[in-house]
Structure 1
Amino acid sequence: MTTAIQGIFAVRPYTPHCQVIHDEGDHAVIGISSGNSYFTHDRVLELARWGLDHFRQVDLIWTDMHVAEMFVALGYPEVEAQRKAVKNLRGVRAKVTSAVAALDPEGERLRGRPMSALLELPAYQRIRSGLDVLMADDPEFREVCDQLAARFLTDKLGGQPPTELQREVCIKYVCAEVPLFLDTPAILGVSSSLNCYHQALPLAELLYARGWGLRASRNQGHAVITPAEEREEQDRRA
């Protein structure tokens, strides 16, 4: 990936074709994780401003599905898990709403929405249903999801192997996001779209590989967006 410094962010499209989608500047999805300390109020605002500087339309989408279930799977009592989920979601919603109000209060180019708002969209429904079929029929997809869940949960559990319930909940959490990694243009009705996050997408190696299998659509791209100072520090250490 080639990194470009754009204002306060370092931008790394995942493939050369993702660079083309970035340069087209049609649409960007900026994923905002609930309960993640990386996404401060100021950072969400700056990410939204970066998006508007480089794309005609921007969607800030925060994860709000299976959050309480994840806390339960990690060992929290159900009432405490629900309380933590509500607190986290209230916080991330406030940050996104504030950014939209500050930069585009009319919502002409910048929109903020939870992941659950996509459930009513036909293309999202179709793609999400297809993932359930793939979990049963596609060994490559199932293996990648299993590995991802094991890696995420083992870290959260202090090195302990995850239970089957924990693995299942984690995979549901991941699969709720995967449609946006696959075909945001179909879901949101845009010509092309760049999915932006501060880490490589969990399934990026699979989705942007050559050959057959589960692949991102031709008009779908991905880029890693990180603070420029972090990237410069990494380059100095390399």
Structure 2
Amino acid sequence: MAAQYTMVSGVGRSDRDRAIIDSGESIIFGLSTFNGWFTAPVIRGCIYWAVKHFEHVYALLPGPEAALRFTSAGMPARRAVGKVIKAVHEHRRVARSALMDAGYRDPDQNVLVWTRFAGNARYTELRSGFDRALTETPALRTVTRQVLAQVLANEFPHGAPDYAIDANTPYISAEAPLFIDGAAVLGHSSLTFAYPRPFPVYDLLESGAVPSLALSSHQGFALLSVQDGEGNPR
């Protein structure tokens, strides 16, 4: 592990999340390519921390849906897709290298893009269920729109208009299966989804407020933080 890295760790915020984390079965990092928190040293730190605690470690990267944030703000589609591809390739390179450092002989099997799941029956079922619940459940629709407004803050500094939020809904639904029942999608007994800030959509589903779209009992969430030299969050 010669490459520079930042110390990172993750914690569960509920008894359920902590129990799934403690099981040490599998974890997947939602590597948002345009979230500045995920620098190369931090991505390496995520991987290096995870391999000490989990049997299976994955990095998840966005698909073409990530370009919607730019096209909805007026960027030409070709340029927007190119911007996403460049960012995804860079994050993939770092995650792949870190997994190899950690002993994964075929890291390409563990660095995943949303499009990888196009033929996965459970993924398809969950994504359709999420889209359906958005139309049927006002609370889920409200929370999802609030999350998207934050995602689009850089493109729309004075507030994202409704049309842009609507256009970017696939950005959430493409990832939703991995934080609803990612264990079944990936074929594990349990899975922890890891991200550096609380995710209101997950919290709503965990509360049971969307009966048609309950979280799997095998799904957990870890809140990531950068650590100082003594292992304390900073």
- CA–CA distance in 2 between the matches of 1:211 and 1:144? 12
Q: TM-score, normalised by structure 2?
A: 0.86
- CA–CA distance in 1 between the matches of 2:65 and 2:159? 22
Contact 2:95 2:111 in 1 (8 A): yes
Question: In the alignment, which residue of structure 1 is the partner of 2:185?
Answer: 187
Contact 1:144 1:203 in 2 (8 A): yes
Runs of 5+ unmatched residues, structure 1 = 1-6
- CA–CA distance in 1 between the matches of 2:59 and 2:41? 14
Aligned residues: 227
User: Deviations 1:118-138 (Å, cap 9, x if unpaired)?
Assistant: 222111011111122212222
Query: Mean alpha-carbon deviation: is it higher for 208-217 or for 70-79?
Result: 208-217
User: Deviations 1:7-63 (Å, cap 9, x if unpaired)?
Assistant: 933432021111011111111111111133322222222211111100111111111
1:8 is aligned to 2:7:
yes
- CA–CA distance in 2 between the matches of 1:134 and 1:168? 15
Contact 1:35 1:92 in 2 (8 A): no
Q: CA deviation at 1:154?
A: 4.4
Equivalent residue letter for 1:169? A
Equivalent residue letter for 1:172? P
Q: CA deviation at 1:212?
A: 5.5
Contact 2:181 2:215 in 1 (8 A): yes
Q: CA RMSD in A?
A: 2.5
- Quickly say closer, same or farther: Cα 1:72–1:27, change in 2 above 3 A: same
Query: Mean alpha-carbon deviation: is it higher for 149-158 or for 94-103?
Result: 149-158
Q: CA deviation at 1:162?
A: 1.4
Contact 2:51 2:57 in 1 (8 A): yes
Structure 1 runs (4+) deviating above 4 angstroms are 230-234
1:147 is aligned to 2:146:
yes
Question: In the alignment, which residue of structure 2 is the partner of 1:3?
Answer: none
Identity %: 24
Q: TM-score, normalised by structure 1?
A: 0.85
Q: CA deviation at 1:204?
A: 2.6
Contact 2:204 2:210 in 1 (8 A): no
